[in-house]
Amino acid sequence: MADRQMTKPSISEGACCPLPLPHLSQIVLGHGSGGRMTQSLIESTFYPELGNPLLLQRDDSAVVELDDGSRWAFTTDAHIVSPLFFPGGDIGRLAVCGTVNDLAMVGAVPRWLSATFILEEGLLRSDLVRIVQSMKAAAEEAGVWLVAGDTKVAERGKCDRVFITTSGWGQIPAGRNVSGGQAQPGDVVIVSGTMGDHGVAVLAARGDLAFESDLPSDVAPLNGLVEAMFAAGSGIRVLRDPTRGGLTGALHAICQQSQVGIEIHELDVPIAPSVAAACEMLGFDPLYIANEGKLVAIVEPAQAPAILSAMRGHAYGAQARQIGTVTEADPGRLVLRTSIGSRRALEPMAGEMLPRIC
Amino acid sequence: MKYVDEYRQAGHVEGVLAEIRKVVSRPWVLMEICGGQTHAIVRYGLDQLLPPEIELVHGPGCPVCVTPIRQIDRALAIAARPEVVFTSFGDMLRVPGTSSDLLSVRAAGADVRVVYSPLDALALAQANPDRQVVFFAIGFETTAPANAMCALQASRLGVDNFSLLVSHVRVPPAIDAILTAPENRVQGFLAAGHVSAVMGYWEYPPLAKRYGVPIVVTGFEPVDLAQGILMTVRMLEGGQTGVDNAYGRAVSFDGNRPAQAVIEQVFESCDRDWRGIGAIAGSGWRLRPAFARFDAELRFDVGSIVSKESEVCIAGQILRGLCKPTDCPAFGTACTPESPLGATMVSSEGACAAYYRYRLPTAEAALTGASRHG
């Protein structure tokens, strides 16, 4: 112990750390995380080449105004999930609900969907039938028709059993103006229920993390809930479904788009006990975990009680809660009031969510 | 969650903070050793609630941050081999070696998998007898027992297609090195609760005595951290040195003796490079010769790889408690979690990553100002 030596690095001596690895040359999984890496890929690759006023609205759906003055929403969503079937849902239900919800999040009434199936050679017919039946049930629940489709088969090993891409059209009733850029200081932030259920359910169903949970995914079409909310009050400024990137990703994007601050209270965010326990054990944060049947709404303060009450009267909003407010302070920043009363920043995930060592 | 929530309650934390405010009479510099503690402090904003006299500096206890670049480069070389399934704790995938990281190696076709336990890696080896399964055995004393147990099991079961790339480090030699350094500012230590749950704290009294510092074993919840700070400050204010335990519900003086016996059976002490800090004598563990056949470094002949660190960031000073993340000119500008300059920004336990994720600009400004006086 006595002959210990320490090197003494300093900036001038040139010590210690590696040059950045920005993952510019190849795509890594983190680019699909829904976090900063996804954002930077979109900003650096897609927007410069493909950007136009509709794409650059940056909402869950593009909103198109036709010559007759009617407003329509158009969106698309690709789905890859392992396992294909998990408690509470499957890739088919996910594919329908994902697009229905993206339409509903701009205030549209979803009408028509298309679906593209990329099937891996060797996929069981019975699995495909099960997926398609599940899509039928979800479409009926959402009140949409699947009106066009395409099927391709990839060689074994070239895709993972089934990938499904859905696109959708829906009409926006007159008087609705919902966008991530509409949040105003003083507005109320509401979530429709518990956060993180879907991500934890899929993680558990995957089975490689050696934990079990009977928690079902929350995957659900939210257009009915959205209609119930509009029936209670028109003062709905922003709607988002916090999918990849979780609540943090969704709210942070709103802060950026509206250039406002948002402060949420840690203790007010509803989290199922089993999700909290799984996250505690695995080193994940439920505020970053994907949901597929929840929405976050930013509403005018005066109408918040009526809208909240309408949400609670709907099956998919029974646990709706106010979790925070939009602020003038800290524009562009999402702030968490912690359980012990301090304030800290909530930043979106960088890349892939990786479990911590200990 | 029962048994955890009570340690996160505002009322309980405030009670201990009020006591700290009562006790403190002058500036003190405390170091929390463990990266998990750093994260909890910044995540809960506990440092904002402390009286200004108390400065917390962040120690080298992030196993991901201090894993030497040479071992990362070896991991990358092994992972890239077609016969290998390379398994690792999730955090390590983002840590850059000389020119790549495990995420990139995976994107280029390597079979890199995240596991939660080395025993999962061993099971993977048993299930895939035609593949070579390698586990990246990094970490402090906390992860050492499970990794040691894994080598024992592999030996017992004769799993020949399994090996460990070992890069273990130990806390007490690091504390010793920090206190030996002439530029040291740390006056008291919050010792790492999880490490102590395994090792106990029988190694600390000689250190406390030699350097005349208080060392308090501290947990990870806000109440635990506040309690550890309170006990350390009380000792400092009273001119006391020595060792105390603020994490009695998890840690005993002896620690987990069976776990220590397993470590002793499988690992032996060695010198180890700490990334950003340098070599610390006797600060690592490596496999004993009896377990050499499970040593991935020998199995895959990766001894000749040359590693080179960049000369940019100040992670070294941060890991030794000389600087705060916000002292670094690159922090949050050239250096972010997506494009890290240093391991402290890469790891989710790293101090820079914690600051980046949790700190508000106003708090950053206040803190930068506060830390300049040191």
Q: Which chain A residues contact residue B349 at CB under 8 A? A: 356-357
Among the residue ranges A186-200, B205-219, B275-289, the one predicted with the least confidence is B275-289
Number of CB atoms found within 10 A of residue A276's CB: 18
Q: Out of A40, A283, A347, name the one closest to residue B357 (CB).
A: A347
Whether the complex's predicted ipTM surpasses the cut of 0.85? no
- Mean pLDDT of all residues in B64-86: 93
Distance CA(B151)–CA(B266), nearest Å, equals 7
Q: Which chain B residues contact residue A350 at CB under 8 A? A: 336-338
pLDDT at B346 over 70: no
**pLDDT of A80:** 93
Share of chain B above pLDDT 70, in %: 87
A338 touches chain B (CB under 8 A): yes
The distance in angstroms from the start CA to the end CA of chain A is: 28
Sheet holding A71-79, edge to edge: A62-65, A71-79, A162-172, A109-120, A145-154
- Mean pLDDT of all residues in A34-47: 86
pLDDT at A220 over 60: yes
- Which phi and psi angles does B34 have, rounded to 5°? -95, 140
Distance CA(B303)–CA(B102), nearest Å, equals 19
Q: Which CATH number fits domain A188-345: 1.10.3720.10, 3.40.50.460, 1.10.340.30, 3.90.650.10?
A: 3.90.650.10
Share of chain A above pLDDT 70, in %: 90
- Mean pLDDT of all residues in B23-39: 92
Q: Which residue has the higher pLDDT, B318 or B170?
A: B170
Domain borders along chain A are 59-172, 188-345
**Tell me: the pLDDT tens digits for B200-243?**
999 999 999 999 999 999 999 999 999 999 999 999 999 999 99
pLDDT at A19 over 80: no
Q: Grade residue A128 by pLDDT with cuts at 50, 70 and 90.
A: very high
Q: What is the 3-state secondary structure (H, E, C) of chain A?
A: CCCCCCCCCCCCCCCCCCCCCCCCCCCCHHHHCCCHHHHHHHHHHHHHHHCCCCHHHCCCCEEEECCCCCEEEEEEEEECCCCCEECCEEHHHHHHHHHHHHHHCCCCEEEEEEEEEEEECCCCHHHHHHHHHHHHHHHHHHCCEEEEEEEEEECCCCCCCEEEEEEEEEEECCCCCCCCCCCCCCCEEEECCCCCHHHHHHHHHHCCCCCCCCCCCCCCCCHHHHHHHHHHCCCEEEEECCCCCHHHHHHHHHHHHHCCEEEEEHHHCCCCHHHHHHHHHHCCCHHHCCCCCCCEEEECHHHHHHHHHHHHCCHHHCCCEEEEEEECCCCCCEEEECCCCCEEECCCCCCCCCCCCC
The residue written with tokens 């990839």 in the block is A154
Q: Which chain B residues contact residue A343 at CB under 8 A? A: 45, 48, 360, 363
Q: Is A304 exposed, middle or buried (0-12, 13-18, 19+ CB in 10 A)?
A: buried
Report the residue of chain A nearest B221, measured CA to CA: A340
pLDDT at A34 over 90: no
pLDDT at B259 over 50: yes
Q: Is B127 exposed, middle or buried (0-12, 13-18, 19+ CB in 10 A)?
A: exposed
Distance CA(A336)–CA(A341), nearest Å, equals 9
**pLDDT of B327:** 74
pLDDT at B338 over 70: no
**Tell me: the pLDDT tens digits for A93-104?**
999 999 999 999
Q: Out of B43, B101, B363, name the one closest to residue A21 (CB).
A: B101
- Residue B335 bridge partners (DSSP): B331
- Mean pLDDT of all residues in A279-303: 93
pLDDT at A352 over 80: no
Domain borders along chain B are 1-313, 315-372
Among the residue ranges A14-18, B47-51, B257-261, the one predicted with the least confidence is A14-18
Closest CA to B308 of B50, B96, B19: B96
Name the CATH topology of B1-313.
Rossmann fold (3.40.50)
Q: Grade residue A334 by pLDDT with cuts at 50, 70 and 90.
A: very high
Q: Which chain A residues contact residue B177 at CB under 8 A? A: 4, 6
**Tell me: the pLDDT tens digits for A322-333?**
999 999 998 999
**pLDDT of B307:** 83
Mean of per-residue pLDDT scores for chain B: 87
- Mean pLDDT of all residues in A145-162: 95
Number of Cα atoms under 13 Å in the Cβ half of residue A297: 34
Mention the CATH class of domain A59-172.
alpha beta
**pLDDT of A5:** 35
**pLDDT of A99:** 98
The residue written with tokens 């069976």 in the block is B258
Among the residue ranges A88-102, B32-46, B127-141, the one predicted with the least confidence is B32-46
Tell me which DSSP letter residue B2 carries.
Answer: T
